[in-house]
Amino acid sequence: MSYQTINPATEEVLKTFKEASDRELEAAIARADWAYANEWRKTSLDERKKIVKKAASLMRSRREELAGLVTLEMGKLLREARAEVDLSADILDYYADRAETFLAPKTLNVAEGQAWVEAAPLGVIFCVEPWNFPYYQLVRVAGPNLMVGNTVIVKHAPNVPQCALAFEKVFLDAGAAPGVYTNVFLSNAQAATAIADTRIQGVALTGSERAGSAVAAEAGKALKKSTMELGGSDAFIVLEDADLDAAVQWAIWARMNNTGESCVAGKRFILHEQIADVFLNRFREELQKLVPGNPADDSTTLGPLCTAGALDHALGQISTAVQGGAKILLGGHRIGRPGYYLEPTILTHVDRKNPVFFEEIFAPVAMIFRVKNEEEAIQLANDSPFGLGGTVMTRDVERGKRIARRIESGMVFINSATWTAPELPFGGVKNSGYGRELAEVGIGEFLNRKLIRVTSPQSTFLPAQRTILG
């Protein structure tokens, strides 16, 4: 596995980093384990809070530098990269400010004596994270786990090594001791070695179905708790009573944010037949206005895909779709310029016999479906191996709620695209994975919820007596 900075807008190889040796991996695990046992878990919540909030502050003060690295390494539009840095800092602040409340002991109502549940850290958490949101994916794990008292080791994606190093430096500069947060450039085989190590107590992954299956299997063999945030093929339902101005604008954002390289992007657009033609014409017109160019230039509205492999894969899926009977209403080709640019693409006539019907397209490609009523819309939305997010556009909010409850996904947004915020739980069902990140539930995934029960030494209560007397 090669850790390289390759500018997706120019295809230039700018920097290459060596993979860690097995000895360096061992040292990283030992350092994280020592930091957990001897320093971090013993640090007060107030001290952890100071460091995590300092990291948030440093992210904001280094906003241009951090955002520039995202744009350089994976091609995100610079304004979107800045927004990602801001969101990431907000998540760190969110957990720093609320951890004391989230982790407070929970008193239980018992017949005699006292009982409560305390939140205790587990130890070293190993994370495998993707490239598409290079900081946001990291803070979703680092923020809650560092506040709990766990230490974190991260294998980041091979195409964002400078982002990975810059984020690690943020925590070191914030005052975290070596081993509290560690980035390591690992091979897949070394990642499996780390997961099996007895000093690793939990595994978190955000990535593809294939990566999730492999990592979850390794974690399962080692009896490690794991969370998997995997892919999605979100349904974006537009009903006949929707505000079409809002629906079109949200649809463009849902499909084109991050150049379509988002697990919660709207990918399957399910349109009521009464508004389908009007919506589709306006949707196509808006996509045609997008301007490809240097993602660091604020006038650019269409960035490149992240790698040559990502572009080739998307073009292959488009070809497969057409061979399976789909029609290209817009785009479908690589843009004739340096960089990994793909035309915004609309596919119609994709049926269940078409292989791409059941696939996630991680690119600016929208699949269009027409339905006669809301029942068909719900059935089509659920006819997917994925269950991450979804959208329902309707003027009737109660109708939207009713439909949302029947959609098989971890999240449904009514009258907006699926998105994220520190206070909103994030995660899916089916092949979109398991576990949740963000909000209060996100701090509870890698905790020891320890019961403490107190009875008086003079108590004569015995469970066996209760059973006999009862």
Give the integer Cα–Cα distance in Å for 150 and 135: 19
- Domain region containing 361: 234-414
Q: Is 232 helix (H, G, I), strand (E, B) or coil?
A: coil
- Do 222 and 284 belong together in one domain? no
Instruction: Report yes or no on 431 lying in a domain.
Output: no
- Do 152 and 277 belong together in one domain? no
Question: Which pLDDT does position 458 carry in this prediction?
Answer: 80
Give the integer Cα–Cα distance in Å for 374 and 399: 10
Instruction: Report yes or no on 469 lying in a domain.
Output: no
Give the integer Cα–Cα distance in Å for 347 and 369: 9
pLDDT at 246 over 70: yes
- Do 7 and 97 belong together in one domain? yes
CATH, residue 170: 3.40.605.10
Catalytic residue among 263, 343, 360, 437: 263
Instruction: Say if residues 212 and 263 touch (Cβ distance below 8 Å).
Output: no
pLDDT at 295 over 70: yes
Give the integer Cα–Cα distance in Å for 440 and 357: 35
Q: What is the mean pLDDT of residues 188-200?
A: 98
- Do 128 and 256 belong together in one domain? no
* CA-closest candidate to residue 314, choices 282, 256, 359: 359
Question: Which pLDDT does position 464 carry in this prediction?
Answer: 62
Contacts of 226 by beta carbon, 8 Å cutoff, 6+ apart: 202, 203, 204, 205, 215, 216, 219, 220, 435
pLDDT at 1 over 80: no
pLDDT (tens digit per residue) in 328-386: 999 999 999 999 999 999 999 999 999 999 999 999 999 999 999 999 999 999 999 99
Active site residue 263: yes
What global pTM score does this model have? Answer: 0.97
Catalytic residue among 229, 343, 359, 437: 229
- Do 176 and 249 belong together in one domain? no
Instruction: Report yes or no on 468 lying in a domain.
Output: no
Which range among 12-26, 65-79, 228-242, 450-464 shows the weakest confidence by mean pLDDT? 450-464
Q: What is the mean pLDDT of residues 82-91?
A: 98
CATH, residue 347: 3.40.309.10
- Do 399 and 314 belong together in one domain? yes
pLDDT at 469 over 70: no
Q: What is the mean pLDDT of residues 6-34?
A: 98
Instruction: Report yes or no on 162 lying in a domain.
Output: yes
- Do 80 and 211 belong together in one domain? yes
pLDDT at 266 over 70: yes
Question: Which pLDDT does position 163 carry in this prediction?
Answer: 99
User: What percent of the chain shows pLDDT beyond 90?
Assistant: 96
Instruction: Report yes or no on 467 lying in a domain.
Output: no
Question: Which pLDDT does position 470 carry in this prediction?
Answer: 47
- Do 150 and 33 belong together in one domain? yes
- Do 125 and 7 belong together in one domain? yes
Rounded alpha-carbon distances, angstroms, from residue 270 to 179, 237, 277 = 48, 5, 12
Please spell the DSSP secondary structure of 35-100, one letter per residue: HHHHTGGGS-HHHHHHHHHHHHHHHHHTHHHHHHHHHHHH---HHHHHHHHHHHHHHHHHHHHHHH
Instruction: Say if residues 96 and 196 touch (Cβ distance below 8 Å).
Output: no
Question: Which pLDDT does position 456 carry in this prediction?
Answer: 87
Active site residue 374: no
pLDDT at 126 over 90: yes
Domain count, the chain: 2
Contacts of 208 by beta carbon, 8 Å cutoff, 6+ apart: 230, 231
Instruction: Report yes or no on 165 lying in a domain.
Output: yes
393: left (phi over 0), alpha (psi -120 to 50) or beta: beta
Give the integer Cα–Cα distance in Å for 153 and 68: 24
Contacts of 316 by beta carbon, 8 Å cutoff, 6+ apart: none
Instruction: Report yes or no on 409 lying in a domain.
Output: yes
Instruction: Report yes or no on 419 lying in a domain.
Output: no
pLDDT at 230 over 80: yes
- Do 365 and 379 belong together in one domain? yes
- Do 202 and 243 belong together in one domain? no
Residue 90 token pair: 């907000």
Question: Which pLDDT does position 466 carry in this prediction?
Answer: 53
pLDDT at 75 over 90: yes
Question: Which pLDDT does position 467 carry in this prediction?
Answer: 52
Give the integer Cα–Cα distance in Å for 69 and 78: 9
Rounded alpha-carbon distances, angstroms, from residue 324 to 313, 355, 356 = 16, 7, 9
- Do 116 and 249 belong together in one domain? no
